[in-house]
Amino acid sequence: MLSKRLNKVLTYINNTDKLVDVGCDHGYLAIEAINKGVKLVQLVDNKTMPLDCAKHNLEKLNRLQDVEVIFTLASGLTKIDDRINVATICGMGGDLIAQIIEESFEKTKALDSLILQANTKVEHLRLYLINKGFTIIDESFIKDKNKYYPIIVAKYSGAVSKLTSTQIKYGPIILIKKEDDFIDYLNNRLVHLNNICKNNQKLLNEIKEIEEIMKDETCGNN
């Protein structure tokens, strides 16, 4: 039922967590979290249609008798239950995710983790997180249906991290892990850039940056 992207998000959710899924869509992530053993799930959306769809899908589950499910029509994290300790915000732009966190900053500070998957403006999101005192504690890079998705797990620490421009662009932990899907992305990006660069200095700089990352990967495999 879950996409490869959301399956990876699910791996960051523990069965003891109390989860809020913001922008719940069809409720599939919440369903699999319940199947994993999560006992409290709050589904939030700012539109009635996705919430109704999620309700319909969760009603099909046979194990809801010992699970508390809360459906909330609201914007972002403004109305999350006080017991929630983990939030997932997936499938949005990085600027919107940053805005959602900012609008409920005190609530997000208290969470054990934020599991974030931005479709666009990921650099904006990383920069926001580190400047606001969140520490990036894990990351993954997933290829799903020929599209690439970075996933960020963050927790408020109060410390302002210092990242290089390359780390902000690609992700500090993604650069360390060098997962297969990330290397695939770099290879494809390199081919694309070499085809279009035409002495454009900005693109040539990006080519050099990627080649440095790839060189490190090659050295690490020797």
Q: What digits encode the pLDDT tens for the residues 188-198?
A: 999 999 888 87
* Residue percentage of the chain with pLDDT more than 90: 84
Query: Is residue 221's pLDDT more than 70?
Result: no
CATH: 3.40.50.720, 1.10.4030.10, 3.40.190.80, 3.40.50.150. Which one for 4-171?
3.40.50.150
* Residue percentage of the chain with pLDDT more than 70: 97
Q: Whole-angstrom Cα distance, residue 90 to residue 7?
A: 12
Residue pLDDT, tens place only, 32-55:
999 999 999 999 999 999 999 999
Least confident of 36-45, 67-76, 151-160, 192-201: 192-201
CA 211 to chain centre: 26
The predicted pLDDT at position 217 comes to: 63
Residue pLDDT, tens place only, 84-142:
999 999 999 999 999 999 999 999 999 999 999 999 999 999 999 999 999 999 999 99
Q: Whole-angstrom Cα distance, residue 174 to residue 43?
A: 29
The predicted pLDDT at position 22 comes to: 97
Q: Where in the chain is the domain with CATH 3.40.50.150?
A: 4-171
160: tokens are 């302002």
For tokens 């699970």, name the residue: 67
pTM attached to this predicted model: 0.93
Strand 134-144 with 147-156, pairing? antiparallel
88: tokens are 């997932």
Query: Is residue 219's pLDDT more than 60?
Result: no
Residue pLDDT, tens place only, 144-153:
999 999 999 9
Average pLDDT, the chain: 93
The predicted pLDDT at position 166 comes to: 96
Q: Whole-angstrom Cα distance, residue 50 to residue 120?
A: 21
Which backbone phi and psi does 63 adopt, to 5 degrees? -110, 25
